[in-house]
Structure 1
Amino acid sequence: MLRKLTSTLARCQRGAMAIETALVVPILCLLALGTFDVSSMVSRQQELQSAANEASTIVLAAANSTGVSSTDLEKIIESSVSLKPDQLVISQEYRCDAATARTSNLADCDTSKPIYAYVKLVITDSYTPLWTSFGVGSTFNYSVTRTVQVS
């Protein structure tokens, strides 16, 4: 009797489509959400790269003028590229004569030789993907650095 019931159920095609759909739809939904999150992550990285490029242009423009302090420069860049104050760090660096390494202390350089000035921009941000709410992965941190020679 069990063998007859099993063979009857094995040949029955009614409801097969519903069962296959119930198995496949959750996987397709997870793939779609994952694709959306990955595209959001890539998009944010591109936005930060563009912001760094624009900030570099602002630094070069400010280097040609006089009287722009680093705090004013930081405020200009933050408002121009829509960054929060804690997302942008600006620092001054110097390269002494033909040295390959840069230093943040001007006193390290011999003033009788050429000194080259740089402005270093570091833009940071983070993105928390949707899948972290399911216990998979963690927050993704971005860091984009640009160094611009100003003299």
Structure 2
Amino acid sequence: MPSQPGRFGRRCGAQDQRSSEVGLVTGLGNTLRQLLRHTGGTALIETAIVAPVLIVMSIGTFETSRMVARQSELQSSAEQATEIALAIIPDTETELGQVKSKLMASSKLSEARVVLSFKYRCAAGALETAKPSCSEDSLATYISMELSDEYQPVWTHWGFGKSLEYHLRRTVQIS
């Protein structure tokens, strides 16, 4: 069959290959457009990404508030013990033991975590644990209170961080 004037002859196989490549690109483009239009699972995926972050932030907020609350409890207990010491002015170890038992009860601490002791000062000297030999007029007596506690946040059970140590020290002049 002779070719028609003005037309170039093309082999049939070359046309088929070109049209199949165009069909593949067009098909991928159509598939991609359909996937971009389909948004049914995006909320689930976004939730899967955001939910763990929100959970960790919530736990952190809760644990931080518990740490601050415990510090406040210890401060309040020390303040209460200060008021008791100023009210009864303990002179003996027995009376100091009574203040210590009240402090242990209000702070919910064991005996090992609460240390009360007498401290003394002559005039403007340093605090000493032993009663110095100076005149009664220049002798000042103090009660030293030391509280220690440990708080273990939830995340330490998962291998993150470490426990929090509380150390509270108060010195009260009683005479």
Q: Same fold (TM over 0.5)?
A: yes
Tell whether the 8 Å contact from 1:62 to 1:73 is kept in structure 2 after alignment.
no
Q: Which amino acid aligns with 1:85?
A: E
Report sequence identity in percent. Answer: 34
Q: 1:111 Cα shift?
A: 3.3
User: Which structure is higher in RCO with an 8 Å CA cutoff and minimum separation 6?
Assistant: 1
Which ranges in structure 1 are unaligned for 5 or more consecutive residues?
none
Q: How many residues are aligned here?
A: 149
Task: Please name the residue that 1:74 is paired with.
Answer: 100
Which ranges in structure 2 are unaligned for 5 or more consecutive residues?
1-23
Task: Give the alignment's Cα RMSD to 1 decimal.
Answer: 2.3
Deviations 1:84-120 (A, max 9, x none): 2122100111111122x2111223x533760100000
Structure possessing the higher radius of gyration over alpha carbons: 2
Find the aligned partners of 1:123 and 1:23 in 2 and give their Cα distance: 43
TM-score, length of structure 1 as denominator length: 0.85
Task: Please name the residue that 1:23 is paired with.
Answer: 49
TM-score, length of structure 2 as denominator length: 0.74
Task: Please name the residue that 1:135 is paired with.
Answer: 159
Task: Please name the residue that 1:103 is paired with.
Answer: 128
Find the aligned partners of 1:63 and 1:104 in 2 and give their Cα distance: 18
Match of 2:117 among 63, 84, 91: 91
Judged with a 3 Å threshold, the aligned counterparts in structure 2 of structure 1 residues 103 and 65 are, in CA distance, closer, same or farther, namely closer
SS at match of 1:69: helix
Find the aligned partners of 1:116 and 1:32 in 2 and give their Cα distance: 50
Match of 2:65 among 27, 39, 45: 39
Deviations 1:11-69 (A, max 9, x none): 43121111111110111011001100000000000000000000111111221788843
Find the aligned partners of 1:135 and 1:61 in 2 and give their Cα distance: 47
Task: Please name the residue that 1:121 is paired with.
Answer: 145
